[in-house]
Amino acid sequence: MRICSLLPSATEMLFALGCDDRVVGVTHECDFPEAAKQKPRLIRPRVDPQSAPGEIDRQVRALVDAGQSLYGIDAELLIRFEPDLIITQDLCHVCAASPEDLGAVLAGMAKVPAVLTLTPHTLEDVWSDVERVGDAVGKREHGLELASRLRDRVAAVAAQVPSGGHRPVRVLCLEWLEPLYVAGHWVPEMVAAAGGVDVFGHAGEASFRVTPEQIAECDAEVMLVMPCGYDAERAAREFNGMRLAERWPDPPALRDGRVYAIDANSYTSRPGPRLADGVELLAQIIGDSASTGALTLPAAVQRLYCAERRTIDREIGSVT
């Protein structure tokens, strides 16, 4: 079977199921595992992914307003590969090629391949997609086993959360910085499993825009800076480059220096197997947020904010 994956999370599923030798084409963002980087690229972005968040937002809106896709498919290469299966998604057209673009290419193929479309909104949707991919590639038992392990890992984390009179830690999840967006879909579930409560997001619902004033009133005890598609280093760099002002929020997370950049590209943005790793990562951050000792951070996390920077920002009188 020859498989083309037009979705980074699907590529991760395929490799986890032992189908790496069947994958003949992937997207420009398929970077895990390392071997995925060696596969031919079928997708190219029409926005500059290295631009600042505000500029990326501007480019995206301009393309959307013009009725254009954010990604281009290498139709010639896709047709030449003659895949038996194409895996794509219909959840977020900012994250992958649109069904319309794919349909236009399929119309020109002599042998139309099977197309598996993934549209996850919750963690259970993601685990079910692992099973669906397993079915589609003839590895049903492998898919069921992998999905079961992922469910068990999340359940094991949730089982460690204190019950009874325990109050969940209030967590703010920033999915984009300019403009400000909070995460949705599976992220609020991840926070809950890790012992927190998402102050804005709702499980299964899309991310949405918020204002600094709304954040000022949310009383978040932990702030997670997790821009979609960024690793921890870039998330930290973009956050540290922001000009903060008096009107910037002052919840406990900022007062106590509990602001962390996360490798969202690996652990929160992509609806794939590593969301289980993400839950374990969030549990470490949230669980240690109330401790007085220093938090030992893994490479996927960077601590960002401190009281000293808040004071400097106010003295400068900068604007967001």
Over its length of 320 residues, how does the chain's per-residue pLDDT go in tens digits? 999 999 999 999 999 999 999 999 999 999 999 999 999 999 887 777 777 777 877 877 777 676 666 777 888 999 999 999 999 987 555 555 666 778 778 888 888 899 999 999 999 999 999 999 999 999 999 999 999 999 999 999 999 987 766 788 999 999 998 889 999 999 999 999 999 999 999 999 999 999 888 888 888 999 999 998 889 998 988 888 776 544 455 678 887 888 999 999 999 999 999 999 999 999 999 987 555 445 567 778 888 765 444 544 444 344 33
Structure confidence at residue 173 (pLDDT): 96
Query: 3-state DSSP call for residue 83?
Result: coil
Same domain, 83 and 219: no
Q: Which two tokens stand for residue 114?
A: 């099977």
Domain total of the chain:
2
Structure confidence at residue 238 (pLDDT): 86
Q: Is residue 233 part of a domain?
A: yes
Q: Is residue 149 part of a domain?
A: no
Domain range enclosing 268: 167-316
Same domain, 60 and 199: no
Q: Is residue 288 part of a domain?
A: yes
Same domain, 73 and 182: no
The CATH number covering residue 175 comes to 3.40.50.1980
Same domain, 112 and 193: no
Structure confidence at residue 213 (pLDDT): 83
Choose one of 119, 153, 177: the last residue of a domain. 119
